[in-house]
């Protein structure tokens, strides 16, 4: 049908052109450059009435058929059972920090290149998750953990309260009395750095390669703690290398096993029994701390299961995590009573494998252990 109208229109237009040329009268096909259709008044002045009537009839029929086709299509859409679906709006690729108390400028360096799966902001006793923006295409396994100073203080208070309760209940004294008096009299305290490295399994870098520590001497790196309140220039290669030589970066999923030197052991006594220092640092505002967590376990032998301190940042459980309290605030301190042991010879530290690293060419992925201190280490004389 459409071809018939086109053919008829072509014949009419050809006739009009011949008529207008022979009569030396131009047909004003477009009144202006913006006109898209013919003007009846202009045609009526340029062609004969029969020709005008024929064109009008042809175009009216074509318009009628077009309207019928459009109405049929709309009716088909209305009758279908499937709802109409429209493409979603383009992703904004912005993080929503409103109402969280955290500013994007404080963590912007962690949101570049491959952003984390989410930001977990610990605000006092509350966990505030900040979800990735629409169209997220970053790393699906890493989280950026940030705590405000109130959270840090709460963790310290929880640990201190637990130690005080233990002391008040006399549990340390009872634990010490379980061994013979003769053994106690032969005990000799060991220095706070009396530990040995049993094994270290490096984790992965962001690109999947195995992390290689800047300082291969782990014992030397874990002396300290080495920290300074002076501003640190992360862009200076010399300062960066000097800093990394004093810590041990684990890599994603890395593991370190330590033992008390010689035949020594940790003993459950009043207060904290040992401390680990991770170099969690404050953001630019100084009001929040970026953290990389690891879990900590203790045991009397490598053959038996390790007893793990409570650590699950995804569930807002931080009191037993390494990396919760910055070195400058005293580090992470542990009490054997929490895991129900009177003694322990081995300490195992495992990076959780979900920490977002600040993108850098330096091998700093995962937990970064600054130092180890054994407060209640003993040996038999």
Same domain for 220 and 342?
A: yes
Alpha helices in 30-125 (DSSP H): 40-46, 49-79, 104-107
Contact (Cβ atoms closer than 8 angstroms) between residue 120 and residue 145: yes
Where residue 209 sits, what CATH number does that domain have? 2.60.120.260
Q: Are strands 368-374 and 274-278 parallel, antiparallel or unpaired?
A: antiparallel
Query: pLDDT value at position 36?
Result: 41
Domain count, the chain: 2
| Least-confidence region, from 110-124, 149-163, 194-208, 231-245 | 231-245
Stronger pLDDT, 269 or 165, i.e. the higher one:
269
Same domain for 176 and 55?
A: no
pLDDT in tens, 122-135: 998 899 999 877 76
Element at 195 (helix H, strand E): strand 195-201
Q: Is the pTM of this model over 0.85?
A: no
The single residue listed with the structure tokens 């530290």 is 349
The single residue listed with the structure tokens 């006739």 is 15
pLDDT in tens, 276-286: 999 887 887 77
Same domain for 37 and 184?
A: no
Residues 86, 90, 96: CA angle, nearest 5 degrees:
125
Is the predicted pLDDT of residue 298 greater than 90, yes or no? Answer: yes
Q: Which of 79, 98, 120 is the last residue of a domain?
A: 79
Contact (Cβ atoms closer than 8 angstroms) between residue 361 and residue 168: no
Is the predicted pLDDT of residue 333 greater than 90, yes or no? Answer: yes
Cα 242 from chain centroid? 28
For residue 297, give the 3-state DSSP assignment.
Answer: strand
Is the predicted pLDDT of residue 45 greater than 70, yes or no? Answer: no
Is the predicted pLDDT of residue 329 greater than 90, yes or no? Answer: no
| Least-confidence region, from 80-84, 147-151, 196-200, 220-224 | 80-84
Could you tell me the residue range of the domain that residue 50 belongs to?
2-79
Mean pLDDT of the chain: 78
| Least-confidence region, from 81-85, 234-238, 247-251 | 81-85
Within a domain: 61: yes
Number of Cβ atoms within 10 Å of the Cβ of 271 = 14
């Amino acid at each position: 049908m459409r071809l018939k109208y086109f053919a008829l229109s072509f014949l009419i237009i050809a006739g009009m052109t011949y008529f207008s040329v022979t009569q030396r009268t131009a047909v004003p096909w477009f009144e202006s450059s913006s006109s898209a259709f013919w003007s009846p008044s202009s045609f009526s002045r340029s062609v004969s009435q029969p020709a005008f009537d024929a064109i009008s009839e042809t175009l009216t029929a074509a318009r009628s058929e077009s309207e019928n086709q459009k109405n049929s299509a709309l009716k088909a859409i209305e009758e279908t059972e499937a709802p109409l679906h429209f493409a979603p709006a383009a992703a904004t690729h912005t993080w929503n920090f409103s109402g969280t108390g955290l500013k994007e400028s404080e963590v912007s360096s962690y949101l570049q290149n491959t952003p984390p799966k989410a930001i977990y902001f610990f605000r006092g006793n509350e966990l505030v998750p900040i979800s990735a923006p629409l169209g997220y295409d970053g790393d699906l396994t890493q989280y950026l953990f940030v705590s405000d100073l109130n959270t840090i203080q709460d963790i310290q208070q929880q640990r201190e309260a637990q130690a005080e309760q233990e002391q008040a209940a006399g549990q340390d004294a009872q634990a010490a009395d379980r061994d013979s008096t003769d053994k106690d009299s032969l005990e000799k305290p060991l220095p706070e750095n009396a530990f040995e490295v049993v094994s270290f399994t490096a984790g992965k870098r962001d690109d999947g390669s195995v992390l290689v520590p800047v300082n291969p001497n782990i014992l030397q790196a874990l002396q300290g703690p080495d920290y300074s309140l002076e501003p640190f220039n992360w862009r200076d290669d010399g300062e960066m290398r000097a800093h990394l030589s004093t810590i041990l970066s684990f890599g994603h999923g890395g593991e370190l096993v330590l033992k008390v030197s010689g035949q020594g052991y940790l003993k459950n006594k009043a207060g904290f029994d040992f401390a680990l220092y991770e170099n969690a640092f404050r953001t630019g505002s100084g009001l929040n701390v970026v953290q990389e967590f690891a879990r900590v376990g203790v045991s009397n032998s490598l053959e038996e299961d390790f007893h793990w301190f409570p650590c699950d940042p995804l569930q807002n459980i931080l009191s037993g995590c390494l990396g919760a309290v910055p070195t400058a605030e005293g580090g992470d301190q542990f009490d054997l009573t929490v895991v129900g042991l009177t003694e322990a010879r081995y300490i195992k530290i495992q990076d959780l494998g979900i920490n977002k690293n600040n993108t850098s060419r330096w091998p700093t992925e995962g937990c970064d252990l600054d130092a180890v201190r054994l407060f209640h280490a003993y040996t038999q004389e």
